[in-house]
Amino acid sequence: MKRQNLRTVSLILCIFSYLLVGAAVFDALESEAESGRRRLLEQKRGELRKKYRFSADDYRELERLVLQAEPHRAGGQWKFAGSFYFAITVITTIGYGHAAPGTDAGKVFCMFYAVLGIPLTLVMFQSLGERMNTVVRLLLKKIKKCLGMKKTNVSMENMVLVGFLSCMGTLCAGAAAFSYFEGWTFFHAYYYCFITLTTIGFGDFVALQKNEALQKKPPYVAFSFMYILVGLTVIGAFLNLVVLRFLTMNSEDERRDAEERASLRRVRNNIHLKAKEDSKNRDAIFLPIEDRTSQMNLIPLMQEDADRPRRHSSNSTTRVPSFCTCLCYRPRLCASPAPSHPETLSCHTNPVYYNSISYKIDEVSLSTRDPTGVSSPGSTLSSNSPRCREHHRLRRKSI
């Protein structure tokens, strides 16, 4: 987030600095020329008023009439051809200003038309630019293969160079055509093409505005419309190749930061869960799973035992009191009838060690049986009993 904020602040400072530099340069270049043109106009105005004896009000009325009559030199601006030309300048945001709706209904429709048409046009030009870049990349790869080059991969530098040359070629071709049809110099025609295809649209140079060209020169009208649309597609392809990478930089950084935060959360959760499991293992005794053995949490360790380090030795092992675990089987193991004396069981004892208790189920003989034929529950004997000492060899150390 800090990187995005720093980049945004830097861009703001760069834009304001760029504006200040532009203002200073335009002031130095245009200020004196503007003052000279103003003095010339004042002189001409004074000469006309003296020659034709116009009053100030008459001269302002004449100015207004001239300005309103200027667009009509191209013919009918709101016939179908002129309306189509105006619609192109609206949705492409060129906005020459050579024509504007005069009725309130036309102004309302123009606003709604622009709200829907401008986003649709931007998406269309961006999609066409992407397809054009894909075709150019394939053509460059085939050209490299035909030339027998070892590396046929098309790099970003190749695409930028081709895009730049395409833009220059489009501008030069349009300048040559409009200088012929409009009678402009090549420089002024090139300036018109650049202002048009970058959608600046000052309106100081506008095509199709002389000698009723909108009605009398259909081929030239069709060429002008196609040139604007194709030229905007070429410019859009170049901008999509170069500029949009910088426009999406902030979103890519935000996505990368979100992935890093999610990864850190997962790591913290795993560490927390592992710490809980380790604490649970330290606070409980388990029986290991072995052959004919079971594992269960039997005895929780006391705090002082959990804190005491384990000491392993081949000669001695720290023990806690022993347990004898016995299981009684059905009388199939003992063929003798049930005696009258109390039940006698053979068993074994396993010592209980820290952190685990290991026990083994041995075959036992049942000396008594209840009248229902179901084995009576096993009894727990002390490890000091004679019967258990006989089976002392069956005891195992815990693992």
Measured CA to CA, the distance from residue 157 to residue 21 in angstroms comes to: 30
Convert the pLDDT of each residue in 224-282 to its tens digit: 999 999 999 999 888 888 776 666 666 667 777 778 888 888 888 878 777 766 666 65
Eight-class DSSP state of 286: B
Nearest Cα neighbor of 181 from 193, 169, 170 is 193
Q: Kindly report which listed range (54-58, 217-221, 224-228) carries the lowest average pLDDT score.
A: 54-58
Nearest Cα neighbor of 202 from 193, 211, 214 is 193
Tokens at residue 393, please?
């060899």
When pLDDT is cut at 50, 70 and 90, the band that residue 297 belongs to is: very low
Measured CA to CA, the distance from residue 356 to residue 297 in angstroms comes to: 9
Convert the pLDDT of each residue in 327-377 to its tens digit: 444 444 444 444 444 444 444 444 444 444 444 444 444 444 444 444 444
Residue with tokens 């002129």: 82
Greater model confidence, 15 or 77 = 15
Nearest Cα neighbor of 328 from 342, 350, 346, 349 is 346
Convert the pLDDT of each residue in 345-359 to its tens digit: 444 444 444 444 444
% pLDDT > 90, the chain: 37
Q: Which amino acid is at 250?
A: N
In the prediction, which pLDDT does 195 show? Answer: 96
Nearest Cα neighbor of 327 from 377, 394, 388 is 377
Measured CA to CA, the distance from residue 29 to residue 69 in angstroms comes to: 31
Q: Which residues contact 286 (CB under 8 A, 6 or more apart)?
A: 295, 296, 297, 298, 355, 356
Q: What mean pLDDT is predicted for residues 276-297?
A: 53
Measured CA to CA, the distance from residue 158 to residue 204 in angstroms comes to: 36
When pLDDT is cut at 50, 70 and 90, the band that residue 391 belongs to is: very low
Measured CA to CA, the distance from residue 344 to residue 386 in angstroms comes to: 12
Tokens at residue 145, please?
């293969």
**Could you tell me the pTM of the whole model?**
0.63
In the prediction, which pLDDT does 389 show? Answer: 46
Distances (CA, A) of 163 to 121, 129, 134, 136, 237: 21, 10, 12, 9, 7
Distances (CA, A) of 142 to 26, 74, 118, 129, 148: 47, 47, 36, 20, 10
In the prediction, which pLDDT does 379 show? Answer: 42
Tokens at residue 274, please?
């592992």
141 and 220 in contact (C-beta within 8 Å)? Answer: no
Nearest Cα neighbor of 155 from 141, 176, 169, 166 is 141
Of 67-71, 75-79, 103-107, 388-392, highest mean pLDDT: 103-107
Tokens at residue 311, please?
């000491």
Q: Is 366 left (phi over 0), alpha (psi -120 to 50) or beta?
A: beta
Eight-class DSSP state of 77: T
When pLDDT is cut at 50, 70 and 90, the band that residue 66 belongs to is: confident
- 193, pLDDT greater than 90: yes
Residue with tokens 């401008």: 118
Average pLDDT taken over every residue of the chain: 75
Greater model confidence, 100 or 269 = 100
Distances (CA, A) of 33 to 19, 36, 45: 21, 5, 18
